[in-house]
Structure 1
Amino acid sequence: MCFGAAIPTRFQHTLMRNTRRNPMRVIFPLISVSAMAGLAACASLPASDGAGSISPPPANGECRVDDAKALEGQTLPTEVKIKALTGASTVRVVGPNDMVTQDFRVERVTIIVDPLTRKILRANCG
């Protein structure tokens, strides 16, 4: 088996001996790369409004605090409607006891929803 002229013969022998003894040294990296490619294919697509067209985010994409607060007490609307009402380009829907990151993003609205009634308990930007 030829590995190329730049690789020393001693390394070739060690590599061949290790892969014969443990074929997972070769198979595991191939499986890992295949899994990563499969997960990349599952990346989320932009939400559509149901009519087949994709709604663009607002021009500035910043969440409007007053509009977000106006959602409190309402039944949870669709993500597209939340984006249209608040101006946010990202929507994060969580339960009252869910753990979330503490990073502040002006383009995100966080909606805290009661899991039983689907009513919005709290809505805030960031």
Structure 2
Amino acid sequence: MPSPTALTIYVFGISSLAAGIVNLINPSSALSTFSLPFEALPAVNGNSLAAIAMGIYYPLLAYQENRAFFMFTIPMRCLTATVFVRQGGNWKIAGLWEGGGAVLTMLALVWEAWSAAAVGKHGNAEWKGNKRDD
């Protein structure tokens, strides 16, 4: 079973893959969603390919439980969220997706660290969050 943090990365990766495929198949939808002119089509296609790539490597790294990757995605995703939200309009939705995912990943990492510290502190595997066998 994947860790809670890995699950957040899986969800982000799979949603990124889906968005990339949909936008690559139907780029006019992305153009209208983000109020972009037809001249932005090459950028939309490039972003779709980038989303597909993220949709491939995020689940791979989640499968590998790559903790360093999980941690280093957080600041970049927060920066991306800030830029998208500042764009306004429908970009705010993309910003909330990025930022919300980053916050969930961070909370999962903190919770897992707290749980591991609690297990180590109490010296038994029965200590799990709020449950403890005395």
Question: TM > 0.5 between the two?
Answer: no
Structure richer in strand, relative to its length: 1
Give the number of the structure with larger relative contact order, counting CA–CA contacts within 8 Å between residues 6 or more apart: 2
Larger Rg: 1
TM-score by length of 2: 0.31
Structure richer in helix, relative to its length: 2
